[in-house]
């Protein structure tokens, strides 16, 4: 897989990294990798941290496009995308609506359910439904074990695998530190997999599936970014029919949300019947040394540098700026 892009035609590029979310540390690692890659391909790229610089400076400093390497709130939730729309600066990844929906795991599930796509059963606990009487009722509905998570965070932040009733309240309290609402989700026993997508609409392409094998099944924040204990299998080792079905589901999920540019779906393949279930869609996936989209792209013959260049070349606005009326 090759990328034919003239770096000079991309203009002056800001790589947005850091930001103010709970995933700031990961974003800085992602952004540093992207910045180095783009510079290696001859792009006029500089780092830009919205936590320390006003976004309006992007316009004042004459940036032609933006590579979003932010993760979490105020990065992949539609807010930065909306600001860039107002500034008229093309950006990488999904637009305002798709970013906002995908960042909300409960809303994502509602869309997928409406489209008939499989996702684990779930219960959403609003801030008025997080007392012991409410939380103890959840395992009766979803069974045990189950997963408790904040619906607007990523990178496994605030996530607990609950094994018994006695753990529910602490798990809800932890998730509620990051979000007003708490998502409780049926636990699917089986293989954990992820599948990246590049492109948009009918032309979107699913990349090779990665199977994730974590120590004792603990694919948490620390294992994702700061250890080498997790094994990432690509080729996945799954039967070809299963891999094709995962890719088909991922593309359907991506298109249902209106995503563009790139994304990555996380899924579980249930051991009992080998049926895949969609967990979430990441619209600004990690680009660190441990990250999965670059790993899958390499398996498809696309280098990290060319991946970054291809994503940047697809930067655009939801709606092109309207012509300024003549005075």
Q: pLDDT tens, 259-303?
A: 999 999 999 999 999 999 999 999 999 998 789 999 999 999 999
Name the token pair of 277: 């279930």
**3-class DSSP assignment, residue 315:** coil
286 is catalytic: yes
190 is catalytic: no
CATH code of the domain made up of 7-92 = 3.40.50.20
Q: 225-261: per-residue pLDDT in tens?
A: 445 688 999 999 999 999 999 999 999 999 999 999 9
Task: State pTM to two decimals.
Answer: 0.92
* Overall CATH class of domain 122-186: alpha beta
CATH T-level assignment (fold) for domain 101-118+189-310: D-amino Acid Aminotransferase; Chain A, domain 1 (3.30.470)
Q: Which of 19, 21, 23, 220 is catalytic?
A: 23
- Best CA proximity match to 155, nearest among 40, 251, 70, 53: 70
CA 25 to chain centre: 16
Query: Is 282 designated active site?
Result: yes
pLDDT digits (tens, 9 = 90+) for 175-200: 999 999 999 999 999 999 999 999 99
Q: Is 220 a catalytic residue?
A: no
Is 166 catalytic? The answer is no
| Number of alpha carbons in the 13 Å side-chain half-sphere of residue 155 | 28
Whether 204 contacts 251, CB under 8 Å: yes
CA dist., res. 150 & res. 157, Å (int): 8
| Chain mean pLDDT for the chain | 93
Ordered by start, the domain boundaries in the chain are 7-92, 101-118+189-310, 122-186
CB atoms within 10 A of CB 271: 11
């Amino acid at each position: 897989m090759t990328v034919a892009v003239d770096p000079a035609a991309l203009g002056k590029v800001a790589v947005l990294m850091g930001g103010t979310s709970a995933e700031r540390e990961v974003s800085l690692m992602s952004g540093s990798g992207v910045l180095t890659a783009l510079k290696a391909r001859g792009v006029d790229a500089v780092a830009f941290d919205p936590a320390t610089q006003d976004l309006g400076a992007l316009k004042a400093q004459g940036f032609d496009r933006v590579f979003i390497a932010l993760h979490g709130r105020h990065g992949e939730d539609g807010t930065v995308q909306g600001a860039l729309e107002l500034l008229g600066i093309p950006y990488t990844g999904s637009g305002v609506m798709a970013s906002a929906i995908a960042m909300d795991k409960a809303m994502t599930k509602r869309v997928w359910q409406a489209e008939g796509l499989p996702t684990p059963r779930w219960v959403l606990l609003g801030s008025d439904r997080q007392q012991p009487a409410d939380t103890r009722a959840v395992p009766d509905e979803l069974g045990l074990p189950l997963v408790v998570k904040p619906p607007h965070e990523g990178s496994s932040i605030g996530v607990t695998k609950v094994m018994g009733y006695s753990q529910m309240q602490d798990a809800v309290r932890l998730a509620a530190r990051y979000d007003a609402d708490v998502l409780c989700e049926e636990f699917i026993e089986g293989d954990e997999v992820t599948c990246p997508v590049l492109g948009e609409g009918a032309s979107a392409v699913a990349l090779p599936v990665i199977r994730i094998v974590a120590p004792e099944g603990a694919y948490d924040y620390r294992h994702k970014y700061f250890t080498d204990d997790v094994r990432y299998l690509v080729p996945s080792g799954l039967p070809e029919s299963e891999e094709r079905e995962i890719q088909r589901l991922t593309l359907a999920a991506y298109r249902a949300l209106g995503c563009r540019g790139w994304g990555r779906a996380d899924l579980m393949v249930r051991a009992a019947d080998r049926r895949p279930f969609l967990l979430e869609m990441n619209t600004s996936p990690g680009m660190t040394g441990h990250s999965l989209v670059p790993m899958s792209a390499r398996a498809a013959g696309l280098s990290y540098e060319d991946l970054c260049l291809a994503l940047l070349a697809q930067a655009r606005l939801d709606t092109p700026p309207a012509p300024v009326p003549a005075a």
